Chains A and B, each alone.
Chain A
C-alpha cells in the first residue's frame, strides 16, 4: 500500500515512524532539488544554442525565458518561502506548488519535442534526447525520497516522447514507443525500491537509537532504585527502630498489669509479633548496613578453634533440641579473617542448616586444602535445594518451598547476608546441594600462621581499670577502707594511706607500679590539705600532670572557690559510686592540658 508520499508499507511502521520517514524524506528531497537548480539554468541555455539555427529565435527566447522564470519561482519557494513560513499546511502547499511548477517545466520540454522535426535536424534532436533522458535518470535521486514528484515530472517528459514516437514523424514507430514504455517501467521499479529501502534505513536507525536510549534510561533507573533503596534503609534505620523499641517498653508495662489468663494470652501473641517484627527489621537493617559500605572489614589472624567454640556454645543446644547431631571438630589452624564478621557468617549458615534439617546431622569439617588455604565445610542432611532453585537462594527473601511465607521457617534473609559477608571479606563460597539429600557449604579462607600475643596490641579499653594503680588518701580509717574496697571491686590496684608521706613510703618499699591516679580527701591531719598531698606525690613521681581528684565534705564556699580556682576536681561526700566511676574514667582518659 503506497502512502501518500511514498511506498513504504503502512502497517510495517507506526504513526510516529511514518511521520519520521516523511520528514526525513522531505529534508533529503529538498537538498537534492536545490542541487538541480544550476542544471535548470544551464541545460535550457545549451538546448537554445543547439536549436538556434533550426527554430525561430523569438520562440526559442520566449521558451528560455519561461524556463528561467519558473526556475526562479521555484528557487524563491524553496529557499525563502519554505524556510520562513510557519503555516501548518506549508508542507502540502509546497509539494503542490513544486509539482505544478516542475510539471510546467516538463511541458516546456515536451513542447520542444513535439515542435522539432527529428529527421531534418538530427544534431539538435540527439542533443535534446540526451538532455531529456538525462533528466529522467538524474531525477531518480529525488524520486527515491519523493516518488510523487518524480511520477508527474517523468510522466510528462516520457509521455510526450511516447506520443512523438507514435505520431511525431510521419509513420508511427511502435517499437520505439514500446522501448520508452519499458524504460518508464524500469525507472518506476527503481524509484519504488529506493523509496522502500531508504524508509527502512531511517526507521532502523531510529529504532536503534531509541532502543539504546531507553536501555540507558532503564539502566539508570534501576541503578537509582537500588541506590535509593540502600540509602533509604541506611538513613532511616535509626528512626525505624525507635517506635518498635518504645513499643517493647510499653509492652513490658502491660505485661505486669495484665493478670487474667485471657489477657496474658493476647499479650503473649503481641509480644511474639513484636519480636518477629524486631527480628525482621534487624535483618533488613543488617543487609542495608552491609550494602551501604559502612562496614569496615578488619582482616586479622583468627584461631579456627575460637570460631568453632562459638559455634558449639551457640548451636549445640538448638541442634540437639531438634534431635540433630552437630559434629564440630577441633582445629589448631589459624585463618586470616574478620573475626566478628566471620562469626556472623557462620551463625547464619548454621541457623540455616538447622532450620532446614529435619533429621540426621550437621557436620563441620576443617580441611587444610593447600599450603595457604583452609576450607571450612558445613554439610547437613536437610531438605536440599534443587538445581533450578540454587540460583536464587542467595537473593533477598527467597525461600525454598515457602511460598506461603510461614515465618517459623525464617525470613529468607540468612543466605543473602551470608553472600554479602563473603563478598565483603573476599571469601569464596560454594554450595552443593541435592534435593532430599542435603546441602554442603564450603568457605575458603586464607591460611595464616598462629599469633600469640596480638591481644596486647589492641585498643586501650576505657572501661577497664586493670593495670591501673590508684593512690587513696583519707585520714578517716573507715572511709579509706570503704573507698579501697569499692575501687578494688572495679579491678584497680590500690595503695591506701592516711597521708602522702605514707603512700610514698609504701611505693619505695614495694617497688610496685607507678601511680596513675590520686584520690585524696581535702582535709587531712595536721592542717595538711589534699592539694598538698597530691602535689607531694606528683613531685615524688615527677609526673606534674598526674590525674587527681579531691573528695570533701566541706560546703564552705570559700574553700570550694579556692579549689575550683586552683584547677582541681572536687567531688562531695557522700560519694556516689556511679559518679566516682564516671569521674575516674574521665580523668584517666583525659588528655593532659
Chain B
C-alpha cells in the first residue's frame, strides 16, 4: 500500500512513518510537510493508493488541498488523519470524497486496522464524529450544494469561495492549478461584477446578493 502522508508537524510524520513501516501492514509511506511538496510527490509517483491528510495546516488547509487534487483530476482516495475534530470541516471533506476520518489520538494498531479496511473500500468514521455530523444544522452544511450560478461563471464562483476563505491570489492559483495571472483576471472581473473596492468588500457584496 503506497501512502502519501501530508502533515505540517514533522515529528508526527516521522512517527507515523516509523510506526506504519514497522507494523504488519505492508506499506510504502511518503511524507510531505505542505501542499507544494505533496503536489511534487504526486507528479513524481503516479501509483499512490491513499492520501492521508491533516485538515489544519498553516499554509493551505486540507479542504483546499482536496479541492486542488480534484482540479487536477487526481482520483486518489483520501483519508483525513487529523487532530481537528470540527464536524463541519470533516463533513466538507467527506462531501468532497474523503472516505475516512482517523483521529490522531488513535494508536498504531487501530490505525493499521483502519487502513486495511479503507483499502477494501470501507468508510471509517468514529461514531462520535458521525453523530456530530448528523447533528450539524442542515442549512450551513449544505451551502456547498445550494449554490446558484446565475450571474457568475463556475470558475469565478470557485475563485470567490477561495477569496472568502482568505486565500491569496497565489494560493488560489495553487488550489485551482491555474496561473496566478488567470486568478488575477478572475478577481478583477469579480470586482467589476460586484462593484467592489477590495477583496473584503467583494465577499460582503457577494454575500448580500446571495452569491455566497
Enumerate chain A interface residues (CB-CB to B < 8 A): 238-239, 241-243, 245-250, 252-253, 256-257, 278, 282, 298, 340, 458-459, 461-463, 486, 489-490, 564, 569, 571, 576-583, 585-586, 589, 591, 593
Contact = CB atoms under 8 A, between A and B. Distances in A.
Nearest to B79: A578
A412 B120 CA distance: 44
A500 B147 CA distance: 32
Given A252-B109, A340-B131, A593-B154, A583 B97 contact: yes
A582 B109 CA distance: 23
Contacts of A589: 94-97, 145
A586 to B, nearest CB: 3
Contacts of B210: none
Given A238-B84, A242-B12, A245-B83, A581 B123 contact: yes
A463 B79 CA distance: 13
Nearest to B115: A578
Nearest to B105: A245
Given A459-B133, A585-B123, 8 more contacts: A238-B84, A246-B11, A249-B108, A298-B135, A340-B131, A462-B91, A578-B121, A579-B75
Given A245-B12, A340-B131, A461-B130, A581 B77 contact: yes
A462 B104 CA distance: 22
B49 interface: yes
B83 A591 contact: no
A593 B137 CA distance: 24
A252 B132 CA distance: 30
Contacts of B73: 564
A489 B123 CA distance: 12
B118 A578 contact: yes
Interface of B: 9, 11-12, 14-16, 18-19, 22, 49-50, 56, 70, 73, 75-78, 83-84, 91, 94-99, 104-105, 107-109, 118-123, 125, 128, 130-138, 141, 144-145, 147, 154
A238 B99 contact: no
B94 A463 contact: yes
B58 to A, nearest CB: 10
Contacts of B56: 238
A298 B135 CA distance: 8
A247 B12 CA distance: 8
A585 B141 contact: no
A461 B134 contact: yes
Given A241-B104, A591-B145, A246 B131 contact: no
B18 A253 contact: yes
A247 B15 contact: yes
30 contacts: A238-B56, A241-B83, A241-B105, A243-B11, A245-B83, A246-B9, A246-B12, A249-B19, A249-B108, A252-B19, A252-B108, A298-B135, A459-B91, A459-B138, A459-B141, A463-B123, A577-B119, A577-B120, A578-B49, A578-B118, A578-B119, A579-B49, A579-B76, A581-B77, A581-B123, A582-B78, A585-B99, A585-B123, A589-B96, A589-B145
Which residue of A463, A577, A582 has the most chain B CB atoms within 10 A of its CB atom? A582
Contacts of A252: 19, 107-109
B200 to A, nearest CB: 23
B16 A578 contact: no
Given A250-B18, A585-B99, A242 B83 contact: yes
A179 B65 CA distance: 103
A591 B121 contact: no
B136 A581 contact: no
B121 A580 contact: yes
A564 B75 CA distance: 13
Nearest to A589: B95
A470 B6 CA distance: 33
A591 B147 contact: yes
A301 to B, nearest CB: 13
Nearest to B86: A294
A564 B19 CA distance: 39
B144 to A, nearest CB: 6
Contacts of B49: 576, 578-579
A459 B134 contact: yes
A586 B107 contact: no
